[in-house]
Structure 1
Amino acid sequence: MSDVLIGSILSALSTGLGALPILFLKNSISHRWKDILLAFTAGIMMTAAMLGLIPESLKSGSIIEVSVGIFLGVLTLTYLEKKIPHIDLQHSKTGLKFDEKALLIIAAITLHNIPEGLSVGVSYASDVEETGNLIAFAIGLQNAPEGFLVALFLIKQDISRIRALLIATATGAVEIVSALLGFYLTRYVDFLVVYGLSFAAGAMLFIIYKELIPESHGDGNERYATYSFIIGIVFMIILIESF
Structure 2
Amino acid sequence: MGPETFLFILLATVVNSFIGLIGVLTLWMREKSLESILIILVAFSAGALLSGAFFHLIAESLVEMEVMTSFIYLLIGFIIFFLMERVLHWRHCHEGKCDVHPFTHLVLIGDGIHNFIDGVVIAASFMVSVAFGWITTLVIILHEIPQELGDFGVLVYGGFEKVRALGFNFLAQITCIIGGFVGFFLLYTPESIAFLLPFAAGGFIYIASSDLIPELHKEENMKRSFLSFVFFIIGIVFLLVIKILLGG
> TM-score normalised to the size of structure 1?
0.70
Tell me the C-alpha RMSD between the 2 structures. Answer: 3.7
C-alpha displacement at 1:61, in angstroms? 0.6
Query: Which stretch has the larger CA shift, 223-232 or 7-16?
Result: 7-16
Task: Check whether the contact 1:52–1:131 (CA below 8 A) recurs between aligned residues.
Answer: no
Structure 1 residue identity aligned to 2:232: F
Q: Which structure 2 residues correspond to residues 1-243 of structure 1 after superposition, within 5 A?
A: 9=14, 13-23=18-28, 25-29=29-33, 33-85=37-89, 94=96, 101=99, 109=104, 112-125=107-120, 137-148=142-153, 150=155, 153=159, 164-165=162-163, 167-176=164-173, 178-179=175-176, 184=182, 188=188, 190-220=190-220, 221-243=224-246
Shift of 1:81: 0.5
Deviation at 1:149, TM superposition (A): 5.9
Letter in 1 for 2:215: E
User: Whole-Å Cα distance in 2 between the matches of residues 4 and 68 of structure 1?
Assistant: 32
Q: Cα–Cα, structure 1 residues 26 and 229, in superposed 2: closer, same or farther, change >3 Å? A: closer
**How many residue pairs were aligned?**
221
Deviations 1:137-180 (A, max 9, x none): 5454233244346558566xxxxxxxx52x22221233245445
Q: What is the Cα deviation at residue 114 of structure 1? A: 2.3
The one-letter code matched in structure 1 to 2:209 is: Y
Cα distance change of structure 1 residues 40 and 18 upon mapping to structure 2, 3 Å threshold:
same
Give distance in 1, aligned partners of 2:71 and 2:103.
27
Q: Which runs of 5+ in 2 are unaligned?
A: 1-5, 126-132
State the one-letter code of the partner of 2:208.
I
- Over 3 Å counting, the alpha-carbon distance change for 1:7 and 1:35 in structure 2 is farther
Which has the larger displacement, 128-137 or 208-217? 128-137
CA distance in 1, matches of 2:83, 2:15: 28
Runs of at least 5 residues in structure 1 that lack an aligned partner in the other structure: 88-92, 156-163
Report sequence identity in percent: 20
Distance 2:136 2:60 in 1: 8
